[in-house]
Amino acid sequence: MKPTQLLAILLLAIACPLAAAQAQNVYTVTPASPQPDAAALKPGLSVKYAYPGDVKSLHEAEGWRSYGPKAGPPLIGFDYADTLPEEKALTSDSVNYVVAFINGYMKFDKPGAYQLEFHSNDGLRVKISGVQVFEYDGRHPCEPGQRATVQVPEAGWYPVEALFFQRVGTSCMLLNWAPPGEAWDWAPLEIYGYIEE
């Protein structure tokens, strides 16, 4: 075997596990430090809304952060099933053309690998501990994006932030998950918390 062939095989052996890990979307997150005071936490997630008109991408939606979005009623979590055509998006004041800036915490009760599957209609980007674990951009019906594996080093509260936009028609934002050693199910509302500003 020629040295160049051996080098190519070695490079391929190194690249394949890296590619496989990327394909599985494995992310490691870190707990909030310090942990939030349990007495200060309220159930759900805080949200601020902007009503910019026709937004077609998360990039466009992000641009509205600097325009002073207004606080809305808190969300119960990532738990909003597909609406009827005339129902308002999330807890906003509008059916259409909504941008939501979401913040709070998610509680993971034990360490290990959590499988996460977010559903959205339309665009959704989610970060846990500042690590982007999900993004599904553009206009689409209520459907799941690519699954992610989130490695949780220890039990506790983890900061979460999300960007969501709804263009026209129906909307949804959901989380299906499988904690370590458990079956897939909709994430319970008890895992969400936020601190009032």
For the segment 54-95, what is each residue's pLDDT rounded down to a tens digit?
A: 999 999 999 999 898 999 999 999 999 999 989 999 999 999
**Cα–Cα separations (whole angstroms), residue 141 to 51, 121, 170:** 20, 5, 8
In angstroms, rounded to a whole number, what is the distance separating the alpha carbons of residues 94 and 88? 5
Q: pLDDT at position 140, please?
A: 94
Evaluated on CA atoms 35, 44, 166, 119, the torsion sign reads positive
Do strands 98-108 and 192-195 pair parallel, antiparallel, or not at all (unpaired)? antiparallel
In angstroms, rounded to a whole number, what is the distance separating the alpha carbons of residues 180 and 196? 31
**Cα–Cα separations (whole angstroms), residue 167 to 4, 19, 61, 183:** 53, 34, 10, 33
- The predicted-structure confidence for 106-120, as pLDDT tens digits, reads as follows 999 999 999 999 999
- The predicted-structure confidence for 121-166, as pLDDT tens digits, reads as follows 999 999 999 999 999 999 999 999 999 999 999 999 999 999 999 9
